[in-house]
Every structure is written in structure tokens, then in C-alpha cells.
């Protein structure tokens, strides 16, 4: 039996859509290969394909007539592609690719086929890497939880230990719970596995939900256990047990323990099920029943030409809208900032190489300053001419604990700038043993001064589309808090410093 003539039109339409999303697919492949926590993503499309193949007979019987809703979905995916190209935010393009797959399924096989393949297509979402800033925030949260619980487990072994930020102090030796030890390399694949397990689980919906949600505490507890075991080995046998092959082996052992714990959740449900069955009997590929083929209003060749037309329109728009899309405003280098503090003692400090590599700023400076009345300050500025392809800001709230500091207070405050604009900024009180500091920081973004990372990302997308700019800076100020002066005096000093730097900052950070 030969391929019908309209099959060639469909193949061409699919090839056209893949061509549009080729850069997005390439970025997916790059992210999967570069980040350990995403290395499982290669298997997500394979698993989706297996789910379709397992139910191929029912899916074949669910093929209906083309749906106009599918063509609309393909158009929406094209707009998502354009938005992603304009903002250089690949996650929008990645999500657009999933929408395009769903749209083409409905456009060529009707809503009945989309319903039959909804689970495998939805599972592809787990192959979409979260935005870099989401990974950073999650990593920080998991570092905190894993550090606290890991230290508690070490104490249960009667080993003297002290936690300072994310640094575990064992006396002669110190361990830092870095991003690589946060547990995300377990969470992302384990969460995907939990969702697949819930899909294969034969039981009520509330139990499926618990199976998925249980992956989070299991990951935290097991990663904390890994940290505790590493700490105990380091204490007993030396620092070589915190790195190298043994550290890698411990990671795989912990992942296997996570799997055992997840199977334990299923075992508990099976004990209380009626009739009582073994845990393995609770798992199995669901048998999909065929869905009555849906009716459509046009033939498949028309659907193929419709998708081709949408793809051609999106490609044409992308060539017009994204050519030299971003504007890079003129500005002065931060090297000139020490001169703005005439009469002050200033010392430009070298930036930590690991921080510089992670941020990849186009311009940055760290200055220790002492005012004429002998008050010390630390000023940090970093500038990106374009926030895209993972180049964005790492919040000090995520970096501070890595230096052994504990954030004891965090507030978001609001003030008026000299020109009457509203400004929000973060106020942190941090401590390390007996040392206390006050920190102010905010994101200076194309004339807006905002404290919240989510707000900053919203305006980034808005300005990239309508202003064709995604440049911006982060500003951080630190003063020590002396016992005799207290927090109130430190606040007054930083408020005065904000007023001082906002007078000259626009020539370094264009508004």
C-alpha cells in the first residue's frame, strides 16, 4: 500500500515547522548535554514514543478529520517562536515547539487524535529545561534545605559540626554545599520518573498525586543523607572522600535509594488496597480505549497547506522583526566610577573568578570605599548589554550563603528617586559568627529600579519586544554593622549612598 498523495504534503508541512524551530531544538540538545540535572531529558522523547507505540492500535483508530483548532495552535506556536526570538529567551521557543506538536496532531488527525496522544505529548514538557534563573532559585532553596537537614544528620552521628550559610564546618575541615550538591540533579529526573510512575500506577487520582508530590521530600531527604555520609567520611578518612569517583558513586547510590523510597510509597498504597495486591501489580501500561474519530471541515491537503502558510508567514515575520533586533545603548565603563567619589579612599577589588565566569558580565566592578568621615562601604556593579541565552542575574540571596553568611532578615523597601520615579530594593541583614552586615541591592533595568526577580523578568520580555533592549545592571551596596552604631545608622548611611550614586549612575547604566 503506497503513501497517499496528501501524505507528502503533510510531510512537507512537518518539515517546515521543524525548520522554524531548528535553533530551539539545537538549544535543547545543548542544554541537555551541558547540565547534569538535565541529562535524563534525552530519554523523554523516547518514553513518549514508547507510550504511543504501546497504544498504537487505539491511537490509529482515533484518527479523525483535520481540526481548525490545530491550525490555530500551530499559529500560536509560531507567535511563541517569534516572542522567543525577539527576547532571546529559549524557554518560550521550547514551549512553542510542544504547542506546535500538539497543533499538528490536531491539524492532521483531529481533536480525537490529540486526546488519544495527550499524555505522551504533555510528557514532553519534562524535556523543556527550566529558565536559568528558575534553576538558580531552586538550587539555592535546595542547598539551604539539604544543608540544614544534612547537618542535623551529622549531629545524630555524634560528630561536632557547625553550619555557616552553606558551609559545613567540621573543625579542621570545611565542606561547601555547592550548586552541584543541591539535589537538582536528582530532582529533575526523579520528578519526571515520578510523573511516569503515577501515569502507570493503577489506582485513584489522589494516590497518583501523592506519588508525584513525594518525589520532592524524598529528593531532599536522600540528598541530605548523601551530604551527611560525605561529612562523616571526610571527618573519618579525609577530604578525598568529598570529591572524585567516590563522590560520583555516592550520587548514583542516592538515586537508587530515591527509587526504593518511591517504590515504598507504592508498596504502602498496595497494602491498604482492596483487594490487596503486590506493588508490582499496581504498575502497568494503561490500556487506551479508542476515541471516536472527530469530524472536521476540510481535507488533509488543505490542512497541510494551511500549516505551510502559517510556517511561511512566521518565517517571513522572523526575518523582518528579529534582524538586528536588540539595541545596545552607548555608555561609559564602570572603570570611571572611583572618580565619582572625589576625596574618598577607593580600592577596586578583583572579582571572584567563579562568579565572573558564571555571570559573564560585559562590565563589572567591585570597589571598597572609605568616606572622608572614615565610614567603609562596598559597591558592586555588573552590567549586561543583553540578557539572553542564560546570561542573567544571580540574586545575592542565592550567593551569600555560599560564602558562609546567614540571611537573618530580608525586606523589600520602596522609595522615590530624585526625579520622582518609584524604586524598590532589597534590604538584607546578614551574619557570619559575630560579624553583621547590611546589604541593599536592586536591578537597574532600562530606567526601572526593581527588587523582585519575577518583576524584572516581566519587564525584560516587555522591553525586548517594544524597546528592543534587554540591557541592564545589578547594583549592590554593603556596609558593616558595628555594635555601637546599630542597624538604624547603617540604614541611614546606605540611604544616603543611594542618593549619591543615582546622580551619576545613568551614564554608566543607560535609562
3-state secondary structure 447-473: CEEECCHHHHHHHHHHHHHHCCCCCEE
Q: Mean pLDDT in each 10-residue stretch from start to end of the chain (511 residues)?
A: 59 78 86 79 88 86 83 85 77 89 85 87 88 70 75 78 66 59 71 86 86 87 80 69 56 79 86 74 74 70 66 64 67 86 84 61 83 87 74 66 70 81 86 82 87 80 78 86 76 87 85 81
3-class state of residue 150 by DSSP: helix
For residue 170, count other CB atoms closer than 10 A to its CB. 17
Extents of the domains making up the chain:
5-129+292-321, 132-282, 334-507
**Nearest alpha-carbon partner for 142 in 230, 33, 226:** 226
SS3 content of the chain, % helix, strand, coil (to 5): 60, 15, 25
pLDDT confidence of residue 256: 84
pLDDT confidence of residue 303: 64
The span from the CA of 402 to the CA of 305, in Å, is 55
Structure letter (DSSP) for residue 350: P
pLDDT confidence of residue 172: 64
**Nearest alpha-carbon partner for 218 in 180, 260, 266:** 260
Q: Are strands 376-384 and 162-164 parallel, antiparallel or unpaired?
A: unpaired
The span from the CA of 180 to the CA of 178, in Å, is 5
N-term to C-term CA, the chain: 65
Neighbouring residues of 150: CB distance < 8 A, sequence distance ≥ 6: 168, 177, 223, 224, 225, 226, 227, 228, 231
Measured in whole angstroms, how far is the alpha carbon of residue 113 from the centre of its chain?
A: 32
Enter the pTM of the model: 0.71
Cell numbers linked to 94: 521550547
pLDDT confidence of residue 90: 82
Contact 315, 20 (CB under 8 A): yes
The span from the CA of 139 to the CA of 141, in Å, is 5
Cis amide linkage into residue 289, ω under 30° from 0: no
The span from the CA of 134 to the CA of 89, in Å, is 13
Measured in whole angstroms, how far is the alpha carbon of residue 348 from the centre of its chain?
A: 32
pLDDT confidence of residue 302: 64
Amino acid at each position: 500500500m503506497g503513501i497517499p498523495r496528501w501524505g507528502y504534503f503533510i510531510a512537507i508541512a512537518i518539515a517546515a515547522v521543524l525548520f522554524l524551530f531548528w535553533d530551539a531544538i539545537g538549544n535543547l540538545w545543548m542544554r541537555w548535554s551541558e547540565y547534569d540535572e538535565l541529562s535524563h531529558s534525552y530519554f523523554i522523547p523516547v518514553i513518549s514514543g514508547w507510550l504511543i507505540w504501546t497504544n498504537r492500535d487505539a491511537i490509529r483508530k482515533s484518527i479523525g478529520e483535520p481540526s481548525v483548532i490545530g491550525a490555530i495552535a500551530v499559529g500560536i506556536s509560531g507567535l511563541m517562536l517569534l516572542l522567543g526570538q525577539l527576547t532571546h529567551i529559549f524557554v518560550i521557543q521550547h514551549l512553542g515547539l510542544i504547542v506546535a506538536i500538539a497543533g499538528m496532531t490536531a491539524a492532521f488527525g483531529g481533536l480525537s487524535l490529540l486526546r488519544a496522544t495527550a499524555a505522551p505529548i504533555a510528557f514532553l514538557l519534562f524535556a523543556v529545561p527550566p529558565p536559568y534563573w528558575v534553576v538558580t532559585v531552586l538550587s539555592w532553596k535546595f542547598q539551604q534545605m539539604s544543608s540544614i537537614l544534612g547537618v542535623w544528620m551529622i549531629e545524630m552521628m555524634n560528630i561536632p559540626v557547625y553550619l555557616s550559610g552553606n558551609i559545613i564546618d567540621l573543625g579542621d575541615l570545611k565542606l561547601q554545599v555547592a550548586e552541584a550538591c543541591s539535589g537538582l540533579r536528582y530532582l529533575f529526573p526523579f520528578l519526571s520518573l515520578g510523573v511516569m510512575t503515577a501515569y502507570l500506577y493503577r489506582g485513584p487520582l489522589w494516590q497518583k498525586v501523592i506519588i508525584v508530590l513525594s518525589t520532592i521530600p524524598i529528593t531532599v531527604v536522600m540528598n541530605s543523607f548523601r551530604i551527611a555520609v560525605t561529612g562523616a567520611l571526610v571527618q573519618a578518612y579525609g577530604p578525598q572522600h568529598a570529591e572524585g569517583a567516590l563522590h560520583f558513586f555516592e550520587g548514583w547510590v542516592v538515586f537508587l535509594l530515591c527509587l526504593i523510597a518511591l517504590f515504598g510509597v507504592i508498596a504502602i498504597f498496595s497494602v491498604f488496597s482492596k483487594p490487596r495486591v503486590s506493588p508490582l501489580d499496581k504498575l502497568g501500561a494503561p490500556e487506551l480505549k479508542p476515541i471516536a474519530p472527530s469530524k472536521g471541515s476540510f481535507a488533509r491537503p488543505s490542512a497541510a497547506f494551511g500549516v505551510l502558510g502559517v510556517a511561511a508567514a512566521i518565517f517571513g515575520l522572523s526575518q523582518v522583526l528579529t534582524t538586528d533586533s536588540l539595541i545596545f545603548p552607548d555608555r561609559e565603563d564602570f572603570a570611571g566610577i572611583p572618580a565619582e567619589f572625589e576625596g574618598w579612599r577607593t580600592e577596586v577589588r578583583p572579582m571572584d573568578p567563579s562568579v565572573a565566569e558564571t555571570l559573564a558580565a560585559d562590565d563589572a566592578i567591585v570597589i571598597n570605599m572609605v568616606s572622608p568621615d572614615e565610614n567603609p562601604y562596598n559597591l558592586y556593579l555588573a552590567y549586561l548589554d543583553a540578557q539572553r541565552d542564560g546570561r542573567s542575574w544571580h540574586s545575592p540571596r542565592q550567593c551569600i550563603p555560599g560564602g558562609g553568611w546567614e540571611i537573618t532578615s530580608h525586606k523589600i523597601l520602596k522609595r522615590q528617586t530624585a526625579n520622582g520615579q518609584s524604586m524598590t530594593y532589597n534590604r538584607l541583614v546578614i551574619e557570619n559568627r559575630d560579624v553583621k552586615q547590611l546589604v541593599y541591592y536592586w536591578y537597574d533595568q532600562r530606567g526601572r529600579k526593581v527588587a523582585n526577580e519575577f518583576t524584572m523578568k516581566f519587564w525584560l520580555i516587555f522591553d525586548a519586544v517594544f524597546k528592543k533592549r534587554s540591557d541592564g545592571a545589578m547594583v549592590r551596596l554593603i556596609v558593616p554593622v558595628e555594635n555601637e552604631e546599630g542597624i538604624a545608622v547603617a540604614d541611614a548611611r546606605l540611604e544616603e549612598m543611594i542618593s549619591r550614586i543615582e546622580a551619576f549612575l545613568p551614564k554608566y547604566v543607560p535609562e
